[in-house]
Every structure is written in C-alpha cells, then in structure tokens.
Amino acid sequence: MDLSLSEEQEMLKKAARDFVSEKCPKSFVKQMEQDEKGYSPELWEEMASLGWLGLVFPEKYGGGGMSFLDLSVLLEEMGYACLPAPFLATVVLGGLSIMDIGSEEQKEQYQPKIASGKLILSLALIEPAMEYGPGAIAVEATRDGDSYVISGTKLFVPYANCCDCLLCVTRTSKQKEGITIFIVDTKSSGIKCTVLNTMAHDKLCEVVFDHVRVPKESILGQLDQGWPEVQKIVERGDAAKCCELVGNFQWTLEDTIAYAKERQQFGRPIGSFQALQHYCADIYTYVEGAKLSAYQAAWMLSEGLPCTKEIAVTKLWISEVSSRIFNLAHQIHGAMGVTMEHDLHFYTTRAKSVEFSYGGDNYYREATAKAMGLA
C-alpha cells in the first residue's frame, strides 16, 4: 500500500506551504484575532486566484476538478499556519454540500461565485440545547404560501459575521426526522448575528432568526428528509477538520523537537535527557497515527467509499491524542510555552475547541459502535 503523495499533491503542498509562510506569519494570525471580520478579504482574493476555493468543484462550475484528498493536502498546510479564513466553512460545509445535494440551478448559481471568492458560506446547525441529532433541532421553518418563515437560534456558526449565505438546518415537521436545510441570504430581514467570545478567538457566532422569510426554492436537498444529508455534511466537515489538525500537530511536533535540541540545561540540550526523548517520541507517534487515520478517511471520501466508521474513529483518535500532544509539548517548553509571546498557544486553543464540535466524543464512540454492529 502506497500512502505517499502524488507528484501533483507534492507540488500543491509545497506551493501552499510557501504561500502561507509568506502571507500568514503569526503576527497576521494575531491581528486577525482582533479583526472584526476575522479574515483578510485581500488574502481571500489571492486564495481564489490560486484556484484554492474551487479546487474540488467540477471545471464546468469554475473549479479545478480535483479530489477531496487533494483538498486535504491543502487543509493540512492551512492548519500548519493557523490560517484565519472561512475556507472550511465556505468550501467544505457550504460548497461541497451544494455540489452533493443541490439542484442544477443551485449549483450554477453558487459554485462559480464560491470558486471566484465572491461568496462566503457557513453551516448553522448547533442550537442552545447543545445536543446533536435530529431531535435536537428546534429552529422551525413554517410554510407560508410559496415561502417558509424561519425562527429560532443557532450557536457556534463559523464566520456568520461575514458570510453571504447560511445553510440553516431547520425543523419542518413534528416528526423527529422532519428536518430540512435552507440556503438563507444573510441580508434577509430578521437575522441578528453576534460574535461569541471563544478560547481560540475564532469567529464563532450566535445567529438569531426572527421570522426570516425565504422562498421555497432555497430548500437544499429534500423537504423533511434533511437529516441524512446533514450527517454527510458533518462527516465531510469532520474529515476536513481532522486534516487541518494534522497540520496543527505537525507544526507542534517540529517546534517542540527544535526547542528540545536548542534549550540548554545542566550544560547540555534538554533533548538529550531520556525522559524528554520519550516525550518527543510519544508526540511523534500520536501525530503519525493522526495523519494516517485522517488521510485514510480523506482517501475513502475521494473514492466515494462508505467511511462513517473511519471518520468517527479519526475524530475520536484526534480528539484523544490532541490533549496528550499539547500536554507533552507544554511540559517540554516549560514556562515559555504557556506565555502569549510563544506561538504554541495558537495551536493549543484551536485544537482544544475541536474536541467539542458537533456531537463530541461520546457521539463518535456511539457511531463507531453502531458501525461495528453493537447498537
């Protein structure tokens, strides 16, 4: 089994590393944490000109016709640099969802705009009940003539403060599975967005829908049949986020090893002490396991193979080893590693926030058990 990158993927990886190294120093990341939008429109346009935003869309919609595995290579480099941009929300949660279940008219309307950088999207799924499943969806979309009226609150919506459209998951039937996804223009009357104060200083938002009217043509997928579609969206999003975290872990590994080689104590590098050597070996083992698991899931998605179990296992493993990696990295760095002046905190906070995304670890344990025939 050959798990090495193809020549084209190696070129993409190198080009991405060169780009983010130049355009995204940590001073820029810190600046974007304080920025109202949380990303740079100028950098977004450059990413569009490189073909990144349409990388996995068919050429007929202005895309590059590449695979999810190719996209994963790009996401890893974004994670390596902590690139602040609504890329995953727009391309994976939004664009690929429209490609998967959208009508031809919706694809023609949205895909070229996403690929050119003219449209930012996001997914509005989680609600104040903080549960994950069709029964947890309380935001209602009520039929009114040729329109639907949406009311309710969504939490932790990435980049809702600056996106143009939201994929809003709503309840359209009293039946537990009566879920429908709508493409909602954020300029619609009745939408209020508030940026939340988060550990990673990323732009996660509360979005309140107060009798927001949308046309029936904005339904994405099937009426009252949306939960299986939501699960596909979340699985793709999880796989993409895990690949991004692989880049996060890789930077942490490289930085920690470099520090262990350079930091002197008792007249010798601290990396020469057996205990710290074992710490570094453990970090390397965790990172390699995360990488192999994430890329297996990405490859299976690219091949159109069923991979619910593989994605669940990847999410579980990465959530589990994330805390181990950063505990060890901070121990090796000592007091320096917990200061805001050191770059390690950018990676620690971003990785920590992913542990609680969507269903959390228990949901993925149950999904794995179900795939094994135990539930």
Could you tell me if 279 and 331 are in contact, meaning their C-beta atoms sit under 8 angstroms apart?
yes
Percent of the chain predicted with pLDDT > 90: 86
Residue 211 lies in a domain: yes
Query: Residues with Cβ < 8 Å from 197, sequence gap 6 or more?
Result: none
Percent of the chain predicted with pLDDT > 70: 99
**Longest Cα–Cα distance in the chain:** 79
Residue 250 lies in a domain: yes
Residue 137 sits in a domain whose CATH number is: 2.40.110.10
Could you tell me if 220 and 185 are in contact, meaning their C-beta atoms sit under 8 angstroms apart?
no
Does 71 share its domain with 171?
no
Residue 1 lies in a domain: no
Residue 2 lies in a domain: no
How far is Cα 203 from Cα 157, in angstroms, rounded to an integer?
8
Q: Model pTM?
A: 0.94
Does 235 share its domain with 341?
yes
Q: Given 67, 87, 119, which residue is the final one in a domain? A: 119
Does 241 share its domain with 346?
yes
Structural domains in the chain (count): 3
How far is Cα 117 from Cα 266, in angstroms, rounded to an integer?
54
Phi, psi values for residue 164, rounded to 5°: -95, -30
Does 240 share its domain with 294?
yes
Q: Render pLDDT for 286-339 as a digit per residue (tens, 0 to 9).
A: 999 999 999 999 999 999 999 999 999 999 999 999 999 999 999 999 988 888
pLDDT at 361: 77
Does 102 share its domain with 171?
no
* Residues of the chain with confidence (pLDDT) below 70: 1, 359, 375
Q: Render pLDDT for 105-118 as a digit per residue (tens, 0 to 9).
A: 999 999 999 999 99
Q: Given 101, 119, 137, which residue is the final one in a domain? A: 119
Does 336 share its domain with 256?
yes
Residue 245 sits in a domain whose CATH number is: 1.20.140.10
Q: Which domain holds residue 47?
A: 7-119
pLDDT at 1: 53
Does 345 share its domain with 240?
yes
Residue 208 lies in a domain: yes
Does 172 share its domain with 242?
no
Does 218 share its domain with 232?
no
Residue 42 sits in a domain whose CATH number is: 1.10.540.10
Residue 38 lies in a domain: yes
Does 248 share its domain with 359?
yes
Q: Given 119, 148, 172, which residue is the final one in a domain? A: 119
